[in-house]
Structure 1
Amino acid sequence: MRRSSTSLRKAASRMTAPARLLQAILTRPDLMASFRPLPVLTIVMLPALALLIWLGSWQLDRRAWKIELLADYAATAEAEPISLDQGLCAGRAEIGRRVVPPAADPEADTVRVSGRNAQGAPGWRLFRPVRACDGAQLVLMETGFEGLETATRADDGALTETDAFTQLRFETPLGQGPFTPPANADANEFYAFDAQAFAGVLNVEADRLNDQYWLALSDGAPPAYLTQTPPERHLAYAITWFAMMLALLAVYFAYHIQFGRLTWRG
């Protein structure tokens, strides 16, 4: 019995101050807290705490926004296909809206824009201009895909299979970003929409090229910019930020308990 009591006393002596305080709080609900914040630690902690709360809330907002975008895209994608003239001339064009395939000149020149096929392989998306609004506008229509391996073989220019892409949809052309590689007009290699450069390759007037939409081959799935970071991932990010916030608070109060700045008195 004495050995048991001695062991308990030794175990209690080895308990840290936060652990002893927590044990006292759990066994004595009548205790009153006394808190004296450490000035420097508090000044450093508050901005970090605010940042973590903001990041978590921002990710929750992004999740709600992404859910709404996916719902809007699904509603648009399920609508009946419209003609090219109905979309552009009557103002009914929307990103994701299906388009009745217009007639294209098979002899028209082709412009190559960097992209991926249905299987995710990198290569060149091939576009030809088609007439819209009685010829007042020209719209780029995707007609095929050229893999990077194809471009290095003797059959240069042969198209890869695009059976997975069974639909044409209105899509926003690729924009120029800060990390977009420079185009090579001589090699017909582009990484973003460039009306002037495209016009030179296609032998058309640049001011007739529609820069708001082009017609993209689609397999019916939402575009990559909507699916790359799904709503579930935004929720996981939010949980991570809020968990870090709780960990920061735990460390903050543990320091105060350790230095006797947070105590309970009965």
Structure 2
Amino acid sequence: MSQRDNEPRSPASAAHRPSLWLTVLSLIAFVVLMALGVWQVERRAWKLALIDRVEQRVHAPAQPLPSRTSWPTISAANDEYRHVDVSGRFLHDRETLVQAVTEEGPGYWVLTPLQRDDGTTVLINRGFVPSERRDPSTRQGGNPDGRVVVAGLLRVTEPKGGFLRDNVPQHNRWYSRDVAAIAAARDLQNVAPFFIDADAGSQSAGGPIGGLTVIRFPNNHLIYALTWFALAFMLAGRLFVTFRGGLFRRQRFVHEPAGGPDASARRTGSDAGTIVEPT
């Protein structure tokens, strides 16, 4: 047996060598973090395309309301915020007030059924009124009679209620613009499965304030992507440092005679003549 075989392994090398399971879990975590970053990049591309489509719909000239035969196929992805116009007569005695908070302050959206010549009905969000004008008698002058033409943005129904607040039709408390529930509560027939947010040009003097539709799509995907990628590269850097200090760390063995000039300073035992120097 040679003297090299009798030499003990460096405790520093063993301390820096990671376990197999820790290595595997770290590699899995790295892959997951990179996948999350790529996913956020893809989500950002999708969101930018969505914003572009909505901008085109909002600023396009108003088009006639989709035909009744196409109503079952209308969806948020393909139709929401489409600029449309519709004509008919308001049924002011069946309006519904939905709680709202706008740039004008807290109050209500006024949803009024518009009866069309073909017998169908479309809910029109005529706009906002403050709480002191909740009573219809305070705005009778702003309720037009006869035939009207309304232009605005097509919106999909908002079923069930608002955030943590359910609609209570029996008590006439509404927190979202749920078309089906409002139609049932107001005994409306042949109602379109969407509603129209009237624009500012469709409002009448003394009536609700129109044109307050908020179009906002949060787009933080780039920040999320950079965060995931940063975490992945930090983990990769930690793995590199760990492996470089352990598994990939070479050692140079230097043997000095026991009687050498530095023997008294280096002597720690029977193997005092052998030192380990990492390179």
- The answer, yes or no, to whether TM exceeds 0.5 is yes
TM-superposition CA deviations, 1:30-74 (whole Å, max 9, x none)? xxxxxx764121122123212211211111111100111111112
Structure 1 Cα separation of the partners of residues 64 and 101 of structure 2: 26
Deviation at 1:101, TM superposition (A): 5.1
TM-score where L is the length of structure 1: 0.65
Query: Which of the pair has the greater relative contact order for Cα pairs under 8 Å at 6+ separation?
Result: 1
SS in 2 for 1:134: coil
Deviation at 1:185, TM superposition (A): 1.4
Structure 1 Cα separation of the partners of residues 162 and 109 of structure 2: 21
Among candidates 59, 64, 88, match of residue 67 of structure 2: 88
Deviation at 1:174, TM superposition (A): 1.5
TM-superposition CA deviations, 1:152-195 (whole Å, max 9, x none)? x5x54367xxxxxx951111122348954221213422234545
1:91-110 pair list within 5 angstroms = 91=70, 94-100=79-85, 102-105=87-90, 107-110=92-95
Instruction: Establish whether residue 236 from structure 1 lines up as the match of residue 215 from structure 2.
Output: no
Contact in 2 for aligned 1:174/1:191 (Cα 8 Å): no
Percent of pairs with identical residues: 24
SS in 2 for 1:80: coil
Contact in 1 for aligned 2:111/2:125 (Cα 8 Å): yes
TM-superposition CA deviations, 1:189-221 (whole Å, max 9, x none)? 22345455313432323xx2222x210135487
> Who is 1:32 aligned against?
none
> Who is 2:7 aligned against?
none
Among candidates 178, 187, 202, match of residue 203 of structure 1: 187
> Who is 1:47 aligned against?
28
> Who is 2:129 aligned against?
146
Q: Which runs of 5+ in 1 are unaligned?
A: 1-16, 18-35, 160-165
TM-score where L is the length of structure 2: 0.62
Structure with more strand by fraction: 2
Structure 1 Cα separation of the partners of residues 161 and 111 of structure 2: 21
RMSD after superposition: 3.4
1:51-90 pair list within 5 angstroms = 51-84=32-65, 87-89=66-68
Contact in 1 for aligned 2:62/2:151 (Cα 8 Å): no
Structure 2 Cα separation of the partners of residues 253 and 220 of structure 1: 55
Structure 2 Cα separation of the partners of residues 247 and 196 of structure 1: 52
One-letter amino acid of the counterpart of residue 127, structure 1: L
1:121-132 pair list within 5 angstroms = 121-132=105-116
Structure 2 Cα separation of the partners of residues 177 and 220 of structure 1: 20
Q: Which runs of 5+ in 2 are unaligned?
A: 1-11, 140-149, 200-210, 252-278
Pair 122,65 (structure 1): closer, same or farther in 2 beyond 3 Å: farther
Contact in 2 for aligned 1:180/1:191 (Cα 8 Å): no
Deviation at 1:236, TM superposition (A): 1.3
> Who is 2:239 aligned against?
252
Pair 191,88 (structure 1): closer, same or farther in 2 beyond 3 Å: farther
